[in-house]
Structure 1
Amino acid sequence: MERTEFRDLATPEEAREAIRSLALEGGVDRVSLSSARGRVLLARIDGDIDVPGFDRASLDGYALRARDTFGATEGDPARLEVVGEVRAGEKPDVTLEAGEAVEISTGAVMPAGADAMVPVERTDRTGPESADRANDGSASNNAASDEAVLVRTAVTPGDNVMFAGADVAAGERALGPGTRLTPREIGLLSALGVDEVPVRSKPRVGIVSTGDELVRPGETVDSDRGEIYDVNSYTIAAGVEDAGGEAVLYPHAGDDRDELERVLREAAAECDLVLSSGSTSAGAVDVVHRVIDEQGELLIHGVSVKPGKPMLVGRLERSAYVGLPGYPVSAMMVFRTFVAPAIREAAGHPEPASATLEGRMAVEERYEEGRLRLLPVGVVTDGDGASDGGGESDGNGDGDGGENGNTTDDLLVYPVDKGSGATTSLADADGVVEVHPDTAYLSAGERVTVRLFSPDIRPPTLLGVGEDDPTLNRALDRLDRPRYLSVGTRPALRRLREGVPDVAVAAGSLEADHRVPEEATVLAEWRREWGLVVPPGNPAEIEGLADLVDRDLRFVNRTPDSGLRTDLEAALDELADARGLERRAVTDAINGFDLGLRAHESPARTVLSGDADVGLGLQATADHLECGFVSLGEQDVRLLANPDRAEKASVRALERAIEETVSSDGCRRPQ
């Protein structure tokens, strides 16, 4: 595949000057999903689908079996036969066997048999050689292939792969009642397939999303083909409205050169500014820069900023043109930093005073110097533990606490970054901190300026992290503007030690593990039944963990950060001891043990789909989804408070809500 190189990277100031030189003027139109902006949710929204709905490659390179790379080095690479190619938006038509690899593009569906991928930078493509193949000599999908790849590094299962549900997991709490919808929530709603977005004001801005894998919200995605909902179109449209522009949404253009050029020309003829997202980098299928360069004037291709390096600036027809990155977080941050100021200037709208605030960094954040860094961050009120007046929701989303007059001492700023491809980084973050290229790190406690994604954003009254738990989700519904990050028990306790969240929710046997800060306050405790989720009726007649070890069953685990995974490993230790074995001998016998899913419902949904025989989960989940269940015991769950914020009003409100929810659910309490 032919690839082009980036031109000399422009500085951030050169990019701003190029956009200012485009002399924007405006027009008026409306699009669907932006009608939700400024509305307040009346009920919790949970994810109905996994996002992504398939295991996808995180980089350009080669999908392969990790075991085929064990021991590979720069000097002694593993040689694998290349048996096919998968691009984003295509359904793989090959199953990997030992010693084989498939060339794969960023965002493409991982083919069957592959459990990892290696970036193209760590490989060399080669033709047939007489050297021994780096595999066990098993049959090939394509014995006549004359192409091979030399892999110069070893990878482990899961490396460079974003698994299904890693971004938004089906059944996960997405947005709570009382949430005021702003551009960050619009992005999340887009990923979940919600439509209706109005935009208003001028100048007139045309928005074009590219990529064969994109589907408009409201339509049906085919995850087997690697399709995903188009997030950027509606997210950027909401940003245009915030900036005082009127957005015009154009049909999804795909990756076809002729169709892409047609859509861009149509937008350029009708609008003052055209914004596209995706297809701006130097990859073989990224063609927008070629269209602008040949049919218009390409002023800038590549900016020294992270994320956002592939940014384009130019002219097409009578219209100004800016190309944004394809990943939603990158696109929104580049738009907020470079494009929104130009739209506001053209519309005569000054930067709202409420769109910028000051705060203190919660933790130290280090960087590679050399490029302007756009850091997505969240903000929580009263980082120093002062009372915020926050309480239970009053039904209108306003709660009891004030939202004005926040000072540097009132606000705590923390990084929120799951990667550029993760849509929930938009929903979990409030804005952007710009870090100068010469800055090596931001220290904990350092004052920073946060440029909010929208002036409508109100910092959450409470920040919680930890386990994804049904009882907790119902308690959070009772609060005004809580933010809860489902990161699992281990990361939650680490963040609690760092002093970032107000509360952490931890599950499992923690007494023997000294990860819990000694000064942490236990506000509430409850128990939940955990075990193996099986299809309705338990057709395989699974009785316990021994069946996973002794029988050929497809198992779906949780990630190592989960409290369920911790208790499962403890139970397997007991089984191994009883058999006189090492734990690894037991886990190696379980098909699927090493690859886990993040959210508590994901294994159960995988079992229901027929893609697994048994999954790790909760009794409550099995009951909710009408699955079978094999109990392995009860697990303690604890609500732990940051000692500096145990008296914060919203923390106490959560404590009361947990107590009421536990009582109404009839949950057992630890003895």
Structure 2
Amino acid sequence: MTERKEFRDLAEPEEAHEAIASLDLAPDAERVPLSDARGRVLAERLDADRDVPGFDRASMDGYAVRARDTFGADEVDPVLLDLVGTVHAGEKPAVEVDAGEAVEVSTGAVMPLGADAVVMVERTDERESPRDSERASGETVSGVEIRTAVAPGDHVMLAGADVAAGQRALGPGTRLTPREIGLLSALGVESIPVRGKPRVGIVSTGDELVRPGNQLDDAAGQIYDVNSYTIAAAVEEAGGEPVLYPHAGDDYDEMERLLSEAAAECDLVLSSGSTSASAVDVIYRVIEMRGELLLHGVAVKPGKPMLVGRFPESAYVGLPGYPVSALTIFRAFVAPAIRAAAGVPEPTTATVDARMAVEERYGEGRMRLMPTGLVEDEQGRTLAYPVDKGSGATTSLVEADGVVTVPPDTAYLGAGESVEVRLFSPDVRPPSVFGVGEDDPIISRLLDRLVSSRYLAVGGREGLRRLRNGVPDFAVTTCADRRTTDVENDDAGKTDATDASGGTELASYYREWGLVVPAGNPEEIEGLSDLVDRDLRFINRGTDSGLRTTLGNALADLADERGTSRRELVESVSGFELAAKAHESPARKVAAGDADAGLGLRSTAEKLDLRFVSLGEERVRVLANPEREKKEGVEELADALDSALVGVLEGLSGVRP
């Protein structure tokens, strides 16, 4: 029997930070061409080896003069100077300025010898100027009339005024933006020394993983490799250079080969998965055999099974396998170390202050990194709400905007309590409008017309509950016309018809619902009685779905007709408790041959080329949070419903206003 590695003494989060900080991730400096330098960090001080500019130059179009020749000049009593030449930018002056003379210059031109100021062209006029030596013959030459006095240095940029030779131009640790690159260009720098980017090898583990682009075998429990690409993007965002390696199965020899290869080529090796207390979790054994295991297990949720260790050639951190846990632990513990090694500061906009939209209870006695979503109220104040579908739910990656750190001694966070949200990205912004409720094709199409909207298909019943709690801006439901008690466990039959939504209706429409069956309807299903009376395989929707509530009410009606209980009919439907998440999920099970019938919509059946047995219509309502009706995003949603709903309905079958 294989010995299992247990989490006995979990390290405190501070110990994990210290262990990772002790790892040497910093690569050697490197030289890069100036064209590739944007975003890099300067490794050493750079001094100017020349003046910028390297000559005295005119800072505007006008006339180069000796300032003392303009003293006393004004609009009433101008000074007339001889015009003896012209100098354009980029050419060497061929003239000098003597007493009583001027030279026309363009912006950036080299100042001719003898001149110490420039008169802007707007304060001059060209005139004919008789020279003293030529007046007897009556000959004249070109001149310029100066209508203002200037002082030495006026409108002249002296050599070295921007950067002087020998001056400190940029210091080590400077992040190179277009501004700094412009300065280096002015200094004539062709290549520069920059901090190296830590090379981070990424190895996802698990026999069940398949890289995107390859075929999945769902029957074998295969899933796409989410972590490799998620963590690679996060590494790059933190200033590292990600290197993807083939994923490793749960085999010691293969794991050792891949980790050793990555360790030889990278400054840090990250793995995800195979770190928990399981018989197939062998990474910690590889670390102990090939290097040093610093810690195994941290008192933090999510992410308890984190590993930190060293190979002879590189550092190592093992992340949890679930995508949300892996990304959360990476950002909290690993990203700061990568930024420090790369010399990249933490973005100043990486955190926001918010208030809890709802109360959240917690009592596990270890630090919690709570995935959190953001929404703005009508006054533009930022509210935070927990997003917790479990660590294995990949959609939490896009539904959460950041993380709130909850100390281990915190029993609950109260509604309205101030919290600091560490954003997953400094570019994160709350959605323009945030909705929850039924998974519905009409809503999906309408939301495509809005900018930066967010919608969570949690089901109509759960949507109503969240709307009453005041978190979302709107909810979509088919349950708002009835009390939302759990009718599936209620022998009393149909639910009470009292509206308890607590929302303001923005719009409503009807959709045809029923049973989706295979093409040709091989079982010749005609209605609800077939599910009850025959041994048919059925796929239902989840308990929070309004469509399931509608089915439950229809079964209650059939029970009344037969003089029996609704519970008895429910128990006679094979698969009634077998729930699928989305509105298309039961139909896709039918299409795959896994069921004889599934609960669904006519529009879904036609989309998938399946048959449909109609059982009626249900009303779908879009309800606004009464406290957010004047929010800009809610008003945009209302406008879209007013202007586009009818057109969207016309594009689908089985729906009507």
TM-score, with length taken from structure 2? 0.70
- Aligned partner letter, 2:27: G
2:464–2:501 Cα contact (<8 Å) kept: no
Which residue does the alignment assign to 1:590?
A: 573
Cα distance, 1:355 vs structure 2: 1.2
Aligned twin of 1:20 = 21
1:6 Cα shift? 2.0
Partner of 1:538: 521
Taking structure 1 as reference, are residues 518 and 210 closer, same or farther at Cα in structure 2, changes over 3 Å only?
closer
Distance in 2 between residues matched to 1:598 and 1:445, nearest whole Å: 32
Q: How does 1:140-155 map to 2 (within 5 A)?
A: none
Separation in 2, partners of 1:205, 1:476: 38
Describe the superposition over 1:385-440 as per-residue Cα deviations: whole angstroms up to 9, x where unpaired.
12x6xxxxxxxxxxxxxxxxxxxxx1110000110111001110011110011111
| Contact 1:509–1:635 (8 Å) recurs in 2 | no
Letter in 2 for 1:229: Y
Q: Kindly state the Cα deviation for residue 454 of structure 1 after the two structures are TM-superposed.
A: 1.4
User: Which of 371, 391, 412 is the matching residue for 1:420?
Assistant: 391
Look up the SS of the partner of 1:284 in the other structure. Answer: coil
Is the aligned partner of 1:601 residue 2:596?
Answer: no
From the CA coordinates, give the structure whose radius of gyration is larger: 2
**C-alpha contact 2:293 2:308 (8 A) present in aligned 1:** yes
Q: Distance in 2 between matches of 1:658 and 1:413?
A: 27
**Counterpart of 1:621?**
604
Aligned residues: 477
Q: Map 1:149-548 onto structure 2 (within 5 A).
A: 202-380=197-375, 382-383=376-377, 385-386=378-379, 410-508=381-479, 510-511=481-482, 513=496, 517=500, 519-548=502-531
Q: Is contact 1:529–1:619 with CA below 8 Å preserved after alignment?
A: yes
The letter for the 2-side match of 1:330 is S
In 2: Cα distance, 1:235 partner to 1:492 partner: 29
> Match of 1:100?
none
Cα distance between partner residues in 2 of 1:354 and 1:21:
27
SS of structure 1 residue aligned to 2:618:
strand
Matches within 5 A, 1:53-92: none
Q: What 5-or-longer segments of structure 2 have no aligned partner?
A: 31-194, 484-495
Going from structure 1 to structure 2, the CA distance change for 1:426 and 1:550 (only over 3 Å counts) comes to: same
Cα drift, residue 362 of structure 1: 0.7
Q: Is the 8 A contact 2:202 2:244 kept in 1?
A: yes
Give the deviation of 1:662 after TM superposition. 2.4
Q: Does 1:578 align with 2:561?
A: yes
Cα distance, 1:623–1:294 mapped onto 2, change above 3 Å: same
Give the 3-state SS of the residue equivalent to 1:217 in structure 2.
coil
DSSP-derived class of the 2:321 partner: coil
User: How far off its partner does 1:515 sit?
Assistant: 8.1
Does the residue aligned with 1:490 lie in a helix, a strand or coil?
helix
Distance 1:20 1:427 in 2: 29
Deviations for 1:235-260, whole angstroms, at most 9, x for unmatched residues? 11111111111100111111110010
Q: Which amino acid aligns with 2:318?
A: G
Contact 1:509 1:636 (C-alpha < 8 Å) held by counterparts: no
Contact 1:414-1:500 at 8 Å conserved across structures: yes
Q: 1:551 to 1:337 in 2, by over 3 A?
A: same
Q: CA deviation at 1:369?
A: 4.0
SS of the residue 2:639 aligns to = helix
**Cα deviation, residue 307, structure 1:** 1.0
CA distance in 2, matches of 1:481, 1:201: 36
Query: Counterpart of 1:420 in 2: which secondary structure?
Result: coil
Cα offsets for 1:563-606 (capped at 9, x unmatched): 11011010100111111111111111111011111100001011
Secondary structure of the residue that 1:505 maps to in structure 2? strand
For 2:497 and 2:242, how far apart are their aligned partners in 1? Answer: 53
What is the letter of the counterpart of residue 580 of structure 2? Answer: L
CA displacement, residues 30-64 of structure 1 (integer Å, 9 cap, x when unaligned) = xxxxxxxxxxxxxxxxxxxxxxxxxxxxxxxxxxx
Find the counterpart in structure 1 of residue 537 from structure 2.
554
Q: SS of 1:310's equivalent?
A: coil
Corresponding residue number in structure 2 for 1:134: none
On the 8 A contact 1:201/1:241 being kept in 2, the answer is no
- Paired position in structure 2 for 1:193: none
Equivalents in 2 of 1:251, 1:365: separation in Å?
Answer: 40
- Contact kept? 1:472, 1:658, Cα under 8 Å: no
Moved more, 233-242 or 361-370: 361-370
Distance across 1 between alignment mates of 2:327 and 2:624: 33
- CA distance in 1: counterparts of 2:599 and 2:610, whole angstroms: 12
Q: Which residue in 1 is equivalent to 2:630? A: 647
| Superposition deviation, residue 534 in structure 1 | 0.7
2:480 touches 2:621 (CA, 8 Å); kept in 1? no
Kept in 1, the 8 Å contact 2:358–2:414? The answer is: yes
Secondary structure of the equivalent of 1:634? strand
Q: 2 CA distance for matches of 1:234 and 1:553?
A: 42
Q: Do the aligned partners of residues 549 and 369 (structure 1) sit closer, same or farther apart at CA in structure 2, a change above 3 Å counting?
A: closer
Deviation at 1:508, TM superposition (A): 4.3
Structure 1 residue 493: Cα displacement: 0.6
Paired with 2:288 and 2:525, the residues of 1 have a C-alpha distance of 62
Aligned 8 A contact 2:482 2:498 in 1: no
Contact 2:511 2:656 (C-alpha < 8 Å) held by counterparts: no
Q: Which residue of 2 aligns with 1:91?
A: none
Matched residue SS, 2:627: helix
Measure the CA separation in 1 of the matches of 2:463 and 2:269.
42
Query: Structure 1 residues 642, 302: CA separation in 2 closer, same or farther (over 3 Å shift)?
Result: same
Q: Highest relative contact order (Cα 8 Å, sep 6+), 1 or 2?
A: 1
1:635 corresponds to 2:636? no
Unaligned regions of 5+ residues in structure 1, if any?
A: 30-199, 389-409
Return the letter of the residue paired with 1:504. Answer: A
Secondary structure of 1:456's aligned partner: coil
Which range moves more in the overlay, 207-216 or 362-371?
A: 362-371
Q: State the alpha-carbon separation in 2 of the partners of residues 652 and 28 from structure 1.
A: 53
Q: How far apart are residue 294 of structure 1 and its match? A: 1.5
Q: Secondary structure of 1:616's partner?
A: strand
| Aligned-residue CA RMSD (Å) | 1.9
| Separation of aligned partners in 2, 1:493 and 1:518 | 6
For residue 635 of structure 1, give the secondary structure of its aligned residue in structure 2: strand
User: Aligned AA for 2:598?
Assistant: G
Shift of 1:659: 3.1
Question: Structure 1 residues 555, 27: closer, same or farther in 2, change over 3 A?
Answer: farther
Distance in structure 2 (CA, Å) of the matches to 1:550 and 1:486: 32
Mapped partners of 1:441, 1:451: distance in 2: 19
- Whole-angstrom CA distance in 2 between matches of 1:522 and 1:413: 25
Structure-2 change in CA distance of 1:359 and 1:635 (3 Å):
same
Taking a change above 3 Å as real, the CA distance of residues 589 and 517 of structure 1, as seen in their structure-2 partners, is: closer
SS at match of 1:281: coil
Identity %: 65
